[in-house]
Amino acid sequence: MSQVIGKPINRVDGRDKVTGKAKYAAEFQVPGLAYGYVVSGTIAKGKITRIDTSEALSLDGVLQVFTHENRPRLAWFDISYKDQDAPPGSPFRPLQDATIKYSGQPIALVVAETFEVARYAASLIRVEYKEEPHETSLEANLHRARPQKHGVADLLKPPPPKPKGDFNTVYEESPVKMYGRYSHAAEHHNPMELFASTVVYEKGGKKPKLTIYDKTQGVTNSILYVSQVFDIPFKNIRVLSPYMGGGFGSGLRPQYQLFMAVMASLELKRSVRVTLTRQQMFTFGHRPATVQNVAISASADGAMNALYHDARGETSRFEDYTEIVTNWGGMLYPPENVTQDYKLVPLDVYTPLDMRAPGGVTGISALEIAVDELAYELGMDPLELRLKNYTDLDHNSQKPFSSKELRACFQQGAERFGWSKRQFEPRSMRKGHNLIGWGMATGIWEANQMPARAEAALLVNGKLWVSSATADIGTGTYTIMTQIAADALGVPMEDVLFKLGDSDFPVAPISGGSWTAATVGMAVHSACEAVGKSLLELAKKLAGSPFKGAKWEDIEFADRQLRLKREPTTAVSLQTLVDLNGGKAVRETSTGLPNALKQKDYARATHSAAFVEVMVDEDLGTVKVTRAVSAIAAGRILNPKTARSQILGGMVWGISKALHEESILDHNVGRFMNHNLAEYHVSVNADIHDLDVIFVEENDTIVNPLGIKGVGEIGIVAMPAAVANAIFHATGKRVRDLPITLDRLI
Amino acid sequence: MNSFTYTRADSVEHAVDERVAETGARFIAGGTNLLDLMKETVEKPSRLIDITRLPMTSITETIEGGLRLGALVTNADTAYNKRVQERYPLLSQAILAGASPQLRNMATNGGNLMQRTRCYYFYDAATPCNKRQPGSGCSAIEGFNRIHAILGTHLFDQEGRALEPQCIATHPSDMCVALAALEAVVQVTGKYGERTIPFAEFHRLPGNTPHIDNALEPDELITAIDLPPNGFADNHMYLKLRDRASYAFALVSVAAGLELDGDTITNARIALGGVAHKPWRKPEAEALLVGKPTTQESFQAAADALLAGAQGYGANTFKIELAKRAIVRALGQAAKLEPTE
């Protein structure tokens, strides 16, 4: 009974967002608010030998300056600082001691009556350091690569499977082979909204009460962190994050402004806000710079027989950030002889952090350029090579996919793009100085579901209230959850009020990994079903009830009614039923759990095929992506409008990653230097031209009863390789290092 | 940001007097660069003299037959001014190649000349920079210098021996590259009255004093920019090469203006942006084109001459070849041998 699921419905929060009614973490005003400004360190490694705050403290309006010398005593053990996305290691603790671990490290917090005074005072703090030699270059430290440390993170990010077959021998003996070395620079998330926390302080009993407006992809993560680090019981803390001005993974861990704001608030016993600057947005997690080697061989007919993929990613000295970079080849292609290897290089930088399709877009970018290279070694059309090596099995786990409509992606994408008209030879299309090229690539991302809880309540006025402590990081969670709830109980969208981003709501995991739609969707569905079951019980109590013998399977909800499936005219309105509940709402809380039993024999993933046209100025090296088509197989699409926006965003970022994005580390000073949005280049409107999205039909009853797979990541995965392959087709130049700036093409 | 005093000037004389009275005072109009620099504590003015009420807000004809651009006319209003578009399309094109519509709506013509380099190190007080803090060193020479200068960075002692360069920053403006090609004249007023500065002499090379960007005396205020009658309106091109299609500073840009007699070049101007501490011109290279046919060979010879002596510092070495190709392309487009897209 799908009334609104699957329809291209406008965002339910759209009006609030465009009219400014939607408030973000730094916009909540409270009386007596003090403002914190973070002082950032300037060296990459060493010790603070002296920090002089006297001049700052003497300014009118300055309340306090916190440094490692006067910070309060806090939780002792690492475990207290571990958030839900913490990799193995020892989490960074702001103001812990005099040690400098990376450039830009927060070393002091100035709190003042106004933001301007705090900022000015921050400029008056004098710091002396004893510098130590630092290492920030991945390339220069590849010899130090070592396997990742293991921990809970392995569950979601397993290390590569053990080698199978005999890569070396088969590769050596194969008639056709390729080898390439690929790299990309670090990237920073740079959501438009700056990281901010507004902490509202109230006197409590033994401990104060804190209401915290935080920029986070999971209020549960923030409340856990604050409670453990500052030893305050959950009941005294409430974390709210109703809206987020972009996350992309940067909000998966509590960032240091949260620590700073809470610390200052507790010490000063008043409400405090800390907002980071754009420059400081470059002083925490980032997509790690990575170097990869890929080698693939095939028999003369194009059947792949051996695959090698290794990756060396940077991490910090204190935590082992890992991502799945090299496992994808074994999931996409069937060669029998496979070696996949992943190692880390600890450097004097902050711990990297999941960024949209973490590891996936990294690994697939290299792998799918490599597959294109193999196609050219074979003299075979790149799409034909992929079809030749098509498999319905995940060869890493030897399990079939729960569903995989990648073939339909290839067919529909190729048709929309006009791929059949492509000439194989590079440099075969030209318009004046511009060489034109067509490239394609495959994408894959996991379709995960986590446990989550939600509450549903049919209120006495007949409206349906639904809540879960999840996040809407701009993706459309508010809208799709409203749709799921509306359909579950047969009420129109306008009768549903879905709320999120509040730690008082039933618990949900951090919003990442493309799992929110499935995870929270199933929790919402389950809570609504529970309400439905209670309503059926109430219906049975009606005088002369026609529902007396009815089982759950016998009824359905539609048009604000509960009715018999076989006889829809036998119906009772939901309002009538809630009126029977003694003046109370019909309220249920329920958990959406992945069906492990059903899922365990299958690999679960979304797939994509991206087709890209570029124009490259032969003399000047400038690249323009003139058009791109992405065909996506991602299970059931709850809302084609918000889902399309997600894919478009991923495609834009894929173009941006291929051509523009790069956080530039100066290894002399060990510091990211282009730390602003003028010099950290993301694609702008003028870079983006014709983008087309196709969702292919994909029915999947194994991932979850609603068939939801999630679309947050899959849009970006295939794009960078497709752009790079199109550039090769245009120019005959194979560029294996991203971003492909014009100097790499002249 | 530091505390500062704010004054609103009601006349040019008043503005100049305020400036003379206080060494740390700065003029402010659009503030599109100065406010950023203040937030980064690169600039710490003790006083801001708001000049936005001064009568320098119009575009008028000059007696010589050119145009006078008021210093306070915004970049956007200049670029879309009908007379500028018709008679100086090169200037209009250059302005519109820069910044973003929002910035061009705020930024003024005088301020465009006064904007400072976008060198990463100049902006980041954590790193040494001779321009920000004379004598502290240049981080860019050995550092990440992809966006830096390839021309005019050399220093020589009195015997002509090469010395270590002090600064390899570039001037970031697009507008100024066109103004250099057009041989504009800058009108300034100081405590001793008015004077004019030819555009080629307005910005300077870093030399031993890279903290000084231009020839303006501390007490002087730009009041207008005069465009000579010849706007090279028939044959011109502003070609900007950058890392994305909009809102990025030039890696290399070329402002080219030609006068032709049939296929023969009778007059040529070429200015480069993104390659030096000032818009780069070389009259000898332009002279090579005069009397020559509009061919790739002529353009290539001029490009080679313009880039003679260029030096790369590693990450920016590609600019030498890129600049030559850009010059050849821009001249071809100015001569209408090539489409301009």
- B206-232 confidence digits (pLDDT tens): 999 999 999 999 999 999 999 999 999
Residue of A nearest to B315 (CA): A743
DSSP string, B193-220: EEEEEEHHHHB---TT-TT--BS--TT-
Side-chain half-sphere exposure of A457, counting CA atoms within 13 A? 16
Interval B260-284 mean pLDDT: 98
A620·B248 Cβ contact <8 A: no
The whole-angstrom separation of Cα A727 and Cα A723 is: 6
Name the pLDDT band for B155 (thresholds 50, 70, 90).
confident
Angle at B37 between CA B35 and CA B38, to 5 degrees: 65
- A662-693 confidence digits (pLDDT tens): 999 999 999 999 999 999 999 999 999 999 99
Domains of chain A: 25-133+191-277 (3.90.1170.50), 140-188+286-448+600-744 (3.30.365.10), 450-593 (3.30.365.10)
Taken as a whole, chain B contains a residue count of: 341
B322·A679 Cβ contact <8 A: no
Please list the helix, strand and coil fractions of chain B in percent, rounded to the nearest 5, in that order: 30, 20, 50
A681·B243 Cβ contact <8 A: yes
pLDDT on residue A155:
79
pLDDT, mean over chain A: 97
Paired tokens of B155 = 């220093």
B245·A433 Cβ contact <8 A: no
B246·A684 Cβ contact <8 A: yes
Name the pLDDT band for B154 (thresholds 50, 70, 90).
confident
B322·A742 Cβ contact <8 A: yes
Residue of A nearest to B2 (CA): A120
Residue of B nearest to A37 (CA): B1
Interval B311-332 mean pLDDT: 98
3-state secondary structure at position A199: strand
Task: Tell me, yes or no, if B146 comes closer than 8 A to chain A by beta carbon.
Answer: yes
For residue A661, list chain B residues with Cβ-Cβ distance below 8 A: none
**Do residues A293 and A125 touch, judged by C-beta distance below 8 A?**
no
Residue A156 clears pLDDT 90, i.e. is over it: no
Residue of A nearest to B145 (CA): A666
- A570-605 confidence digits (pLDDT tens): 999 999 999 999 999 999 999 999 999 999 999 999
pLDDT on residue B157:
80
Nearest to B241 among A686, A687, A742 (CB): A742
Task: Tell me, yes or no, if B109 comes closer than 8 A to chain A by beta carbon.
Answer: no
Interval A137-157 mean pLDDT: 89
Residue B161 neighbours by CB under 8 Å, 6+ apart: none
- B59-108 confidence digits (pLDDT tens): 999 999 999 999 999 999 999 999 999 999 999 999 999 999 999 999 99
For residue B33, list chain A residues with Cβ-Cβ distance below 8 A: none
Paired tokens of A415 = 């048709």
Residue A151 clears pLDDT 80, i.e. is over it: no
Task: Tell me, yes or no, if A192 comes closer than 8 A to chain B by beta carbon.
Answer: no
Nearest to A660 among B118, B123, B244 (CB): B244
B244·A681 Cβ contact <8 A: yes
For residue B127, list chain A residues with Cβ-Cβ distance below 8 A: 42, 666, 669, 671, 673
Nearest to A120 among B1, B118, B249 (CB): B1
Q: Name the residue among A482, A474, A37 with its Cα closest to residue A215.
A: A474
- A386-444 confidence digits (pLDDT tens): 999 999 999 999 999 999 999 999 999 999 999 999 999 999 999 999 999 999 999 99
For residue B321, list chain A residues with Cβ-Cβ distance below 8 A: 746
The whole-angstrom separation of Cα A356 and Cα A250 is: 9
User: CA of A271 to nearest chain B CA: how many angstroms apart?
Assistant: 24
Interval A460-466 mean pLDDT: 97
pLDDT on residue B338:
86
Residue B251 clears pLDDT 80, i.e. is over it: yes
Q: Both ends of chain A: CA-CA distance in Å?
A: 58
B322·A621 Cβ contact <8 A: yes
Residue of A nearest to B142 (CA): A668
What ranges in A138-213 are assigned the alpha helix state H? Answer: 167-173
- A255-305 confidence digits (pLDDT tens): 999 999 999 999 999 999 999 999 999 999 999 999 999 999 999 999 999
Single-letter residue type at A244: M
Task: Tell me, yes or no, if B124 comes closer than 8 A to chain A by beta carbon.
Answer: yes
The whole-angstrom separation of Cα A639 and Cα A651 is: 18
Paired tokens of A709 = 């797979």
A660·B120 Cβ contact <8 A: no
Packed helices A719-731 and A360-378: angle between N→C axes, nearest 10 degrees: 30
- A694-708 confidence digits (pLDDT tens): 999 999 999 999 999
User: CA of B276 to nearest chain A CA: how many angstroms apart?
Assistant: 18
Task: Tell me, yes or no, if B320 comes closer than 8 A to chain A by beta carbon.
Answer: no
Domains of chain B: 1-52 (3.30.43.10), 236-334 (3.30.390.50)
CA distances from A3 to A489, A637, A737, B233, B236 (A): 11, 14, 47, 62, 61
For residue B118, list chain A residues with Cβ-Cβ distance below 8 A: 678-679
Catalytic residues of A: 713
pLDDT on residue A2:
65
For residue A686, list chain B residues with Cβ-Cβ distance below 8 A: 244-246
Interval A603-616 mean pLDDT: 98
Q: Which of B6, B44, B119, B120 to mutate to test the interface with A (most CBs of A within 10 A)?
A: B120
In this complex, how many residue pairs, one in chain A and one in chain B, have their CB atoms less than 8 Å apart? 98
Residue A101 clears pLDDT 80, i.e. is over it: yes
A668·B247 Cβ contact <8 A: no
Residue A568 clears pLDDT 60, i.e. is over it: yes
B325·A686 Cβ contact <8 A: no
Q: Residue A126: beta bridge partners?
A: A52
Name the pLDDT band for A149 (thresholds 50, 70, 90).
confident
pLDDT, mean over chain B: 96
DSSP string, A353-391: ---SSTTHHHHHHHHHHHHHHHHHHHT--HHHHHHHT--
B123·A676 Cβ contact <8 A: yes
Q: Residue B226: beta bridge partners?
A: B68, B185
Task: Tell me, yes or no, if A620 comes closer than 8 A to chain B by beta carbon.
Answer: yes
Interval B125-144 mean pLDDT: 96
Residue A234 clears pLDDT 80, i.e. is over it: yes
User: CA of B141 to nearest chain A CA: how many angstroms apart?
Assistant: 11
Task: Tell me, yes or no, if B248 comes closer than 8 A to chain A by beta carbon.
Answer: yes
pLDDT on residue A214:
98
Name the pLDDT band for B340 (thresholds 50, 70, 90).
confident
A669·B1 Cβ contact <8 A: no
Nearest to A666 among B41, B143, B338 (CB): B143
Residue B71 neighbours by CB under 8 Å, 6+ apart: B29, B56, B108, B109, B110, B221, B222, B223, B224, B225
pLDDT on residue A287:
98
